[in-house]
Amino acid sequence: MKKYISLSVKCPFCGKSLMDGDELLHGEPTIKLNIQTRESRGIIHLCSIYECFDYKTEVALTEKEVVEFVCPHCNKELNTKDVCRICHAPMVSLLLKTGGRVSLCSRTGCANHYVAFEDLSTELQKFYEKYEI
Ligand SMILES: [Zn+2]
Ligand SMILES: [Zn+2]
């Protein structure tokens, strides 16, 4: 089986967990967020595995469309002023429960997302211990 890192995130504004243990992708809890497009709004479940881009949503998404991500708890917009270095769409920023943050591109189909740890050595150490990468 492939080794992977499953991310656990919370809202940077209200601090509430964004993890949904009832909706799984690849056997892991998903990241549950509200989204808004030009035509509709709804819920999206993002795969929590780092570098996996799978998601499920009932909202009809157009390829290459920029989506507005909103916290389901406090309704704050999670899109930031940081722009994607690949497609220049706003980046979405979430806090990791272990410290640090994860950023992902708000454009559908763009594979840009990255994790910035506050303390890389301890965070990676934890992952190594847990997942034996
Ligand atoms: Zn919130
Ligand atoms: Zn992008």
Number of domains the chain contains = 1
In a domain, 51, yes or no: yes
Query: How far, in Å, is the centroid of ligand 1 from the Cα of 2?
Result: 32
Q: What is the pLDDT of residues 65-102, one digit of tens each?
A: 999 999 999 999 999 999 998 999 999 999 998 888 88
Range of the domain at 16: 9-131
User: What is the token pair recorded at 96?
Assistant: 């990791």
Quick check: is 2 in a domain?
no
Is 79 a member of any domain? yes
Whole-number Å distance, alpha carbon 32 to ligand 2 midpoint, is 20
In this predicted structure, what is the pLDDT of residue 115? 65
Residue 1 inside a domain? The answer is: no
Mean pLDDT, to the nearest integer, of 1-15?
83
CA of 132 to the centre of ligand 1 (A): 32
Q: Ligand 1 centre and the CA of 115: distance in Å?
A: 19
Task: Name the pLDDT band for 52 (thresholds 50, 70, 90).
Answer: confident
102-128 mean pLDDT: 70
Task: Kindly give the distance from the C-alpha atom of residue 108 to the centroid of ligand 2, in angstroms, as a whole number.
Answer: 8
Structure tokens at 122: 């301890």
